Amino acid sequence: MLSLTNVHRDVPTRSGRFQILKGVSFEAKVGEVTALLGPNGAGKTTTLSIAQGIDKASSGTVRLLGANPYRAGAGLRSQVGVMLQEGGLPMAVTGERLLHHLTRLYQAPADIEALMDRLQIHEFKNRQIRRLSGGQRQRLGMAAALVGRPRVVFLDEPSAGLDPASRLIVFELIEELKASGVCIILTTHLLEDAQRLADHVVLIREGLVEAAGSVEELTATELRPPLTFRTSRSLTEEQRADFPAHLTLLQGSSSAKFGVWRVTGVQGPADLHAVTGWWLRHDLMPTDMGLSGKSLEDVFWELTTHDKA
């Protein structure tokens, strides 16, 4: 359905050229959700833009439904649905008018009434888009992406700004699309969303694919789970410098809670002893601690912070 092979993208700057993508390769398949993850500025949105055919790759190969998507004809675009991160919705029209207009671009569009029902758009369908909340615009953007009953759907941050109830509606719809055989490519900052929805995860960092695979494959890369502990105060530079050198101490999580620490590389009781000895030396009493199964979040933090730890 979608394949990117060694895709590079660079843009001119005053001091030369800046490489946004440095050789991105991955595939997205029918009936699967592929999640692109990465920190801000990693190149996720550029990757999506190139895959959608909005941007052109500087080099490399992109195939979407067997064709090059850049400047593709109407035939290919009728089989692809896109939800942009910023929405891309016209401000001066109502949601219902926009959706009805979009149906006229396709020969076999989705039933708009049923689509509005499912995404609970009826309650604000007659309101100008400029007057909608962020979550309402997200739902409308998703409906716009699905009007053409696409074979491939790109969703850029589909759950951003949604309340829990709306998030559930969107998730159920993504599951239903997957079951219908749609190829779904999404980006998200919420790793729990990716863990729940994705069949295949592509972790992008600084324009490169840092890791790729199923959630199970990525979280099973280490035999032992990480040690997690919480302290009532932040650690000093001196305390961190004294941490056992053969283990890795990482701060925080995506939720950025103060005083949460992860220790990776724990292989057995001797490593635990080294950590408790370090606590003793610095008179640190954890308020919480445990060994838990590795999550996608752990993988993300390890891969995106390993140079900075």
The residue ranges that bind other proteins (CB under 8 A) are 52-54, 73-82, 84, 86-93, 97, 101-102, 104-108, 110-111, 113-115, 117-118, 144, 146, 148-151, 173, 176-177, 180-182
Round to whole Å and give the CA distance between 174 and 196: 11
Q: State the minimum distance, in angstroms, from the CB of residue 185 to other proteins.
A: 13
Rounded least distance, CB 21 to other proteins, Å? 17
Rounded-to-integer distance, Cα 84 and Cα 186, Å? 10
- Minimum distance from CB of 141 to other proteins (Å)? 8
Q: Which is nearer to other proteins, 29 or 273 (CB)?
A: 29
Please give the C-alpha separations between residue 55 and each of 10, 46, 47, 59, 220, in angstroms, as whole numbers.
11, 8, 9, 12, 35
Instruction: Write down the least CB distance from residue 52 to other proteins, Å.
Output: 6
In terms of CB distance, is 184 or 204 closer to other proteins?
184
Smallest gap, in angstroms, from Cβ of residue 119 to other proteins?
Answer: 9
Cα–Cα distance, 46 to 40 (Å, whole number): 12
303/282 Cα distance (integer angstroms): 28
Burial 189-202 (b: 16+ CB within 10 A, else e): ebbebbbebbbbbb
**Structure tokens, 173:** 């719809």
Question: CB count, 10 Å around CB of 107?
Answer: 6
Query: How far apart, in whole angstroms, are the C-alpha atoms of residue 302 and residue 157?
Result: 22
Backbone angles phi, psi at 64, to 5 degrees: -120, 115
The smaller minimum CB distance to other proteins, of residues 91 and 309, is found at 91
- Nearest CB to other proteins, comparing residues 150 and 226: 150
Nearer to other proteins, 66 or 164 (CB): 66
* CA distances (Å), origin 134, targets 93, 138, 143: 16, 6, 14
Residue 287 in 3-state DSSP? coil
Q: How far is the CB of 53 from other proteins (least distance, A)?
A: 8
CB of 118 to other proteins, least distance (A): 5
Q: Say how far apart CA 305 and CA 302 lie, in whole Å.
A: 6
- Measured from the CB atom, the residue of 187 and 228 that comes closer to other proteins is 187
Q: Which is nearer to other proteins, 106 or 229 (CB)?
A: 106
Neighbours of 42 (CB within 10 A): 22
Across the strands, what pairs with 185? 34, 154
Which CB atom, from 93 or from 190, has the smaller least distance to other proteins?
Answer: 93
For the CB of residue 108, give the shortest distance to other proteins in the complex, in Å. 5
